[in-house]
Amino acid sequence: MSTLEIKDLHVSIEGKNILKGVNLTMKTGEIHAIMGPNGTGKSTLSEAIMGHPAYKVTQGEVLLNGENILGLPVDERARAGLFLAMQYPAEIPGVTNAEFIRGAINARRPEDDALSIRSFLKQLDETMSVLDMTEEMADRYLNEGFSGGEKKRNEILQLMMIKPKFAILDEIDSGLDIDALKVVSRGVNKMRGPEFGSLIITHYQRLLNYIVPDVVHVMMGGRIVKQGGPELAKRLEDEGYAGLRDELGLDIKLVDEDA
């Protein structure tokens, strides 16, 4: 079992304080969800954990099995067991999806024990069929010209191939129709097990019907303001973020205040 602890995390971007003390602890075997209005800092939290250079941690720590990882470069955090399915994955021309994924797997193995092409291709084939991906996606350049939905599937494909300890999924549901949402959820659910934990970031409750979380955190104004079980997500869906904000007496402006 592994643990991921976020302690009093403060993060700023371009001098603007976005996260103002986030605390969250999770273990492998658990699925946690973070919900929150747009612009509240959910992506900032995930990028700061992964180590995007634009996001500056000004206070607090992130511990993986008790070790602070904030001093590590991005690739070492990844090899230590973290994975981030990004909201906006980069496009890399000239590098095929398959060779990239194989490279990522082999980066975690000793040089003299690289995964054979055969067994790699077998795994890739099986995983792609779980995600209803066509074979040609393996030979296309990484994310180049992929539709929004294809990019999301491709993030989950990488997740399933790389098998990290903890995966943060940043709005993996955005822009997906219901069928695609089911496919992506099927992939994540297949990963569930004692050696895998996931932090699922979403704006909507819908995804959580398919990937049922153990814990739901609500984030507003750069902090986690409430925690609960799956029923908390349902309640947010019914009442909106404004309702919860007003109940908690928070002075936060919602960007997309609707009801």
**Nearest to 29, CA basis, from 147, 196, 230:** 196
Q: How far is the CB of 91 from ligand ADP (least distance, A)?
A: 18
Which of other proteins, Mg ion, ligand ADP, none is residue 250 near (CB under 5 to 8 Å by kind)?
A: none
- Report how far residue 175's alpha carbon sits from residue 211's, in angstroms, rounded to the nearest whole number: 17
Q: How far is the CB of 162 from other proteins (least distance, A)?
A: 7
- Report how far residue 236's alpha carbon sits from residue 56's, in angstroms, rounded to the nearest whole number: 30
**Interacting residues toward ligand ADP by CB under 6 A:** 13-14, 18, 36, 38-44, 54
CA distances from residue 87 to 93, 148, 153 in whole angstroms, order as listed? 19, 10, 12
CB 225 within 8 A of CB 250: yes
Q: How far is the CB of 34 from ligand ADP (least distance, A)?
A: 9
CB 9 within 8 A of CB 219: no
User: Considering only 10-18, 29-37, 43-51, 136-144, which stretch makes contact with Mg ion by CB under 5 A?
Assistant: 43-51
Q: How far is the CB of 144 from other proteins (least distance, A)?
A: 9
Which of ligand ADP, Mg ion, other proteins, none is residue 79 near (CB under 5 to 8 Å by kind)?
A: other proteins
**Nearest to 224, CA basis, from 36, 3, 28, 5:** 36
**Count of helices and strands (H, E) across the chain:** 8, 10
Q: How far is the CB of 253 from ligand ADP (least distance, A)?
A: 11
Strand partners, 202: 35
Question: Which CB sits closer to ligand ADP, 185 or 202?
Answer: 202
Q: How far is the CB of 115 from ligand ADP (least distance, A)?
A: 34
- Report how far residue 32's alpha carbon sits from residue 36's, in angstroms, rounded to the nearest whole number: 13
Which of other proteins, ligand ADP, Mg ion, none is residue 38 near (CB under 5 to 8 Å by kind)?
A: ligand ADP
All residues at 6 or more sequence positions from 127 whose CB lies less than 8 Å from its CB, including other chains:
157, 160, 161, 187
Question: Which CB sits closer to other proteins, 143 or 202?
Answer: 143
Which of other proteins, ligand ADP, Mg ion, none is residue 1 near (CB under 5 to 8 Å by kind)?
A: none
- The reply on whether position 43 binds Mg ion by CB under 5 A is yes
Question: Which CB sits closer to ligand ADP, 54 or 259?
Answer: 54
Question: Which CB sits closer to other proteins, 108 or 182?
Answer: 108
- Report how far residue 245's alpha carbon sits from residue 42's, in angstroms, rounded to the nearest whole number: 17
**Interacting residues toward other proteins by CB under 8 A:** 50-53, 73-75, 78-79, 83-84, 86, 89-95, 100, 103-104, 107-108, 141, 158, 162
Letter for the amino acid at 169?
Answer: L
Question: Which CB sits closer to other proteins, 54 or 255?
Answer: 54
Letter for the amino acid at 52?
Answer: H
Residues that bind Mg ion (CB under 5 A): 42-43
